[in-house]
Structure 1
Amino acid sequence: MDAYFDMNPRPDHDRMAEIAELVGLDRDVVRVWFCNRRQKLRKE
């Protein structure tokens, strides 16, 4: 998912659902991952 984050750190609802399907996770898990990744980036 890091590659997707590098391309777009704020994917919309549809793109997030697409990523979730590709990686085999629930959309909410992907949403939280992106949120946490953005916060981690802010702290660095």
Structure 2
Amino acid sequence: MAKSLKTPILDFIAEQVHKQEILGLEKLLLESKLEQLRLDVDSAGS
């Protein structure tokens, strides 16, 4: 019984970790896009 209970918990944890990794990647992408926008605005302003 303990074994059948353990697997869904491990799957759940793995799923949560995967979601966090995806969120982290999206955050990095957004930050790089924001940085690019800042550079564009700076070069347009000068």
Bigger proportion of residues as helix: 2
Per the shorter chain, which TM-score range?
0.3 to 0.5
Please give the TM-score of this superposition, normalised by the length of structure 2. 0.41
Please give the TM-score of this superposition, normalised by the length of structure 1. 0.43
Greater gyration radius: 2
Larger RCO, structure (CA 8 Å, separation 6 or more): 1
